[in-house]
Amino acid sequence: TLNPHPPNLMFPIIILALWGILMTSSICLRQTDLKALIAYSSVSHMGLVAAAIIVQTPWGLTGAMTLMVAHGLTSSALFALANTNYERTHTRTLLLVRGLQLAFPLMSTWWLLTNLTNMAMPPTINLLGELFIISTLFNWSTPTIIITGMGTLITATYSLYMFLMTQRGSISTQFQLLPPTHTREHLNLTLHLLPLGLLIMKPALVSGLFT
């Protein structure tokens, strides 16, 4: 059976998980390495998952399972996009890979969709998972809404920052002759984002284990 009131020993761990959300999200705002930014983003989301699991309620475990599946696909798609950039520019520095929308307009669409998914925009399943977790933590302790709210805001900020830094602006003169994107890369991203779009139509496939 699930214990709706975790023992006092777990309180410091929950607090550390919530504090980690703010710290790792803030670190994302000052990253210059694209892959490091994506990696810290994953740590931030897993802070939500850890806190929800420790609270031990059906909603918390449902939200944790949902967010783990959703962010697993989202983070993998972001790393795949970062790799397509690196294969062509041979750098992960954000300041050096600006303006790629001009060279790869279709890949820029993938960047936009993946970043919107990362910031849990509706109707993605990421939003469902985060709503379950935020509701669980709010029910456990009302002040947690401040930390989870700030974490959500910072997540939206660095997701937009990542998109704007890589896609907008003027492209560097050293990247004028870039090889085109391949069908396999678009298929790879389709296989990441299509399940995220379809799972919201049947979320019980990933979230119905504990409800």
- pLDDT over threshold 60, residue 113: yes
| C-beta separation of 20 from 47 below 8 A | yes
Q: Categorize the per-residue pLDDT at 198 as very low, low, confident or very high, splitting at 50, 70 and 90.
A: confident
Considering the chain, what is the average pLDDT of its residues? Answer: 86
Distance CA 78, CA 27 (A): 17
Gap between the Cα atoms of 74 and 86, Å rounded:
18
Q: State which amino acid sits at residue 194.
A: L
pLDDT tens by residue, 36-69: 999 999 998 999 999 999 888 888 899 999 999 9
Domain coordinates in residue numbering, the chain: 10-171+182-201
Give the global pTM. 0.87
pLDDT at position 37 is 92
